[in-house]
């Protein structure tokens, strides 16, 4: 199939960007979206142009590196699918495809389609862990049985890949889904409960500090999240936050 791509090009963080049109030909349905971009990049390099910069690594939907706002949707048209797992059979011959970077104040553009998501790392550094040393002197893994339901629910929250699509999807550029996924995972497990109150306060504080917007529960994040992280996590985090900030004696 042949497609017209309208791609955001931006030299670096300080330059102004613009949409540039490219034609790509003979694209096979079996290709992934990123392989289609590889084909275009090979052509650009051969012609002496600079290829389009985009983040990617695993190409298996798990590292969270790939991003791209495709035709107005983070990770494109397929539900619960990252851009690297999106295949060209989702597009029609002759279609025009718009490709832009994540747009959010807290995710500044580095170049073309690449953005800086280090704000997510700093939120985790603010408290997204259990304060246990790696000494090997921990208790036996089976000493505390954990109900399967809780373990499964914690796992579901823990499958967040930190891609940032939730932020890109949200009109307020809120990071609530991402933050609540980590808060939920750890607060559902006995190991994480001990410091649950400190954790949620610190992580929320860092999130606000990074310049993410407020959550108005539109649900756009859940709809676009490639891993199906549920809005229930946000409710749980709100409860945890309330507990941490208004409980007696605090």
Partner 1 sequence: MSVLDSKIPEGSIDKKWTNHKNHIRLVNPANKRSIDIIVVGTGLAGASAAASLAEMGYNVKAFCFQDSPRRAHSIAAQGGINAAKNYQNDGDSVYRLFYDTVKGGDYRSRESNVHRLAEVSADIIDQCVAQGVPFAREYGGLLDNRSFGGVQVSRTFYAKGQTGQQLLLGAYSALSRQISKGKVKMYNRHEMLDLVMVDDKARGIIARNLVTGKVERHAAHAVVLCTGGYGNVFFLSTNAMGSNVTAAWKAHKRGAFMANPCFTQIHPTCIPVSGDHQSKLTLMSESLRNDGRIWVPKKIEDAQAIREGRLKPTQLAEEDRDYYLERRYPSFGNLVPRDVASRAAKERCDAGFGVNATGQAVYLDFASAIERYGKEQASIHGMNNASKDEIIAMGKKVVEAKYGNLFEMYEKIKDQNPYETPMMIYPAVHYTMGGIWVDYNLMTTVKGCFACGEANFSDHGANRLGASALMQGLADGYFVLPYTIGDYLADDILTGKISTDQPAFEQAEKNVNDRLETLLSIQGSKTVDHFHKRLGKIMWDKCGMSRNAEGLKEAMVEIKALREEFWKDVKVPGSINGLNPELEKAGRVADFLELGELMCLDALTRNESCGGHFREEFQTSEGEAMRDDENFTFVSVFEYTGEPGEAVLHKEDLNYEAIEVKTRSYK
Note the residues at the interface with ligand FES (CB under 6 A): 56-59, 61-66, 82, 84
Collapse the DSSP code of 35 into the 3-class scheme (helix H, G, I; strand E, B; otherwise coil) and give the result: helix
Q: How far is the CB of 70 from ligand FES (least distance, A)?
A: 13
Contact of residue 66 among partner 1, ligand FES, ligand SF4, none (CB under 5-8 Å per partner type) = ligand FES
Question: Please, what sign has the CA dihedral across residues 34, 40, 41, 42?
Answer: positive
Does residue 162 interact with ligand SF4 by CB under 6 A? yes
Report in angstroms how near the CB of residue 91 gets to ligand FES at its nearest: 18
Of residues 178, 183, 192, 230, which one binds ligand SF4 by CB under 6 A? 178
Instruction: Kindly write out the interface string for residues 189-208 of this chain, putting x where it contacts partner 1 by CB under 8 A and - elsewhere.
Output: x-xx----------------
Q: Residue 76 interacts with ligand SF4 (CB under 6 A)?
A: no
Cβ proximity to ligand SF4: between 1 and 63 the closer is: 63
Tell me the number of residues near ligand SF4 by CB under 6 A.
14
Selected from 71, 81, 218, 238, the binder of partner 1 by CB under 8 A is 81
Helix or strand run (H / E) with residue 111? strand 109-111
Shortest Cβ 140–ligand SF4 spacing (Å):
32
Question: Which one of 46-54, 96-104, 171-179, 207-215 is the stretch in contact with partner 1 (CB under 8 A)?
Answer: 46-54
Residue placing its CB nearer to partner 1 in the complex, 174 or 184: 184
Instruction: Report if residue 16 touches partner 1, rule: CB under 8 A.
Output: no
Q: Within 84-123, which residues bind partner 1 (CB under 8 A)? A: 85, 87, 89, 110-111, 114, 116-118, 120-121
């Amino acid at each position: 199939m042949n497609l017209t791509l309208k791609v955001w090009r931006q030299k670096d963080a300080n330059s102004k960007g613009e949409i540039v049109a490219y034609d790509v030909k003979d694209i096979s349905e079996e290709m992934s979206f990123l392989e289609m971009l590889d084909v275009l990049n090979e052509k650009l390099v051969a012609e002496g142009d600079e290829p389009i910069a985009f983040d990617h690594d695993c190409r298996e939907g798990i590292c969270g590196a790939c991003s791209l706002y495709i035709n107005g949707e983070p990770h494109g048209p397929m539900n619960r699918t990252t851009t690297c797992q999106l295949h060209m059979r989702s597009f029609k011959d002759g279609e025009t495809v718009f490709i832009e970077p994540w747009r959010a104040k807290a995710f500044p553009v580095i170049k073309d389609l690449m953005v800086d998501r280090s704000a997510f790392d700093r939120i985790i550094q603010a408290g997204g862990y259990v304060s246990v040393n790696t000494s090997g002197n921990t208790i036996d893994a089976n000493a505390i049985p954990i109900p399967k339901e809780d373990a499964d629910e914690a796992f579901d929250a823990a499958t967040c890949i930190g891609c940032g699509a939730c932020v890109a999807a949200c009109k307020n550029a809120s990071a609530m889904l991402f933050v609540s996924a980590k808060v939920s995972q750890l607060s559902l497990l006995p190991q994480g409960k001990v410091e649950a109150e400190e954790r949620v306060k610190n992580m929320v504080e860092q999130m606000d500090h990074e310049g993410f917007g407020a959550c108005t529960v539109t649900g756009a994040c859940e709809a676009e999240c490639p891993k199906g992280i549920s809005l229930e996590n946000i409710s749980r985090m709100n409860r945890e936050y309330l507990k941490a900030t208004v409980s007696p004696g605090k």
